[in-house]
Chains A and B, each alone.
Chain A
Amino acid sequence: MNNRDFLLLMLAMGAVTYLPRMFPLVMLSRRTLPHWFAEWLELIPAAILSALIAPTLFADSAPRVFTLGKIELLAALPTLLCAVKTRSLAGTVVVGMLCYWGLGLVM
Chain B
Amino acid sequence: MEEKIRQGLAAAWPICLGYFPIGLSLGVLAQKGGLAPWQMGAMSLLVFAGGSQFIAVAMLGAGASSLAIVSTVFMVNLRHLLMSSAMAVHFPGVSRRFLTLFAYGLTDESFAVNMTRFNQGGWNRYSALTLNHAANATWIISSVAGVYLGQLVPPGSAGVDYALTGMFICLLVFQLRSPIFTITALIAALCSVLAYLWLPGNAYVIVASCLAATIGLILKRTRRKQEVPA
Q: Residues on A close to B: CB < 8 A?
A: 1, 5-14, 16-18, 20-26, 28-30, 32-33, 36, 38-59, 64-66, 72, 75-76, 79-80, 83-84, 87-90, 92-102, 104
Report the separation of the CA atoms of residues A96 and B193 in the bound assembly, to the nearest whole angstrom.
Answer: 21
Least CB separation from B58: chain A residue: A52
Hey, which chain B residues are within 8 Å of A76, CB to CB?
Answer: 165, 169
Hey, which chain A residues are within 8 Å of B213, CB to CB?
Answer: 40, 43-44, 47
- The reply to whether the CB of B151 lies closer than 8 angstroms to some CB of chain A is no
Hey, which chain B residues are within 8 Å of A104, CB to CB?
Answer: 159
Determine how close the nearest CB of chain A comes to the CB of B183; give it in whole angstroms: 10
- Decide if B169 touches A47 in the complex (CB within 8 Å): no
A-B contact pairs, 16 of them (CB 8 A): A1-B60, A5-B66, A11-B46, A22-B104, A26-B103, A39-B220, A50-B184, A52-B58, A89-B171, A93-B25, A93-B163, A93-B166, A96-B159, A96-B162, A96-B163, A100-B162
Whether A92 touches B46, Cβ cut-off 8 Å, given contacts A47-B208, A52-B55, is: no
- Which of B82, B159, B176, B190 makes the CB contact (< 8 A) with A33? B82
Q: Residues on B close to A: CB < 8 A?
A: 21-22, 25, 39, 42-43, 46-49, 51-52, 55-56, 58, 60, 66, 69-85, 87-89, 91-92, 96, 99-100, 102-104, 106, 158-163, 165-176, 180-182, 184-193, 196-197, 204-205, 208-210, 212-214, 216-217, 220-221
Report the separation of the CA atoms of residues A99 and B190 in the bound assembly, to the nearest whole angstrom.
Answer: 24
- Decide if B76 touches A51 in the complex (CB within 8 Å): no
- Decide if B104 touches A72 in the complex (CB within 8 Å): no
- Decide if B77 touches A46 in the complex (CB within 8 Å): no
Hey, which chain A residues are within 8 Å of B69, CB to CB?
Answer: 9, 13
- Decide if A42 touches B79 in the complex (CB within 8 Å): yes
Query: Chain A contact residues: over half helix, strand or loop, or mixed?
Result: helix
- Which of B73, B88, B181 makes the CB contact (< 8 A) with A46? B181
Hey, which chain B residues are within 8 Å of A39, CB to CB?
Answer: 217, 220
Hey, which chain A residues are within 8 Å of B55, CB to CB?
Answer: 48, 52
Report the separation of the CA atoms of residues A53 and B210 in the bound assembly, to the nearest whole angstrom.
Answer: 15
A-B contact count (CB 8 A): 270
- Decide if B161 touches A16 in the complex (CB within 8 Å): no
- Decide if A97 touches B163 in the complex (CB within 8 Å): yes
Hey, which chain A residues are within 8 Å of B167, CB to CB?
Answer: 89, 92-93, 96
Hey, which chain A residues are within 8 Å of B25, CB to CB?
Answer: 93
Determine how close the nearest CB of chain A comes to the CB of B14; give it in whole angstroms: 15
- Decide if A22 touches B160 in the complex (CB within 8 Å): no
Hey, which chain A residues are within 8 Å of B66, CB to CB?
Answer: 5, 8-9, 12
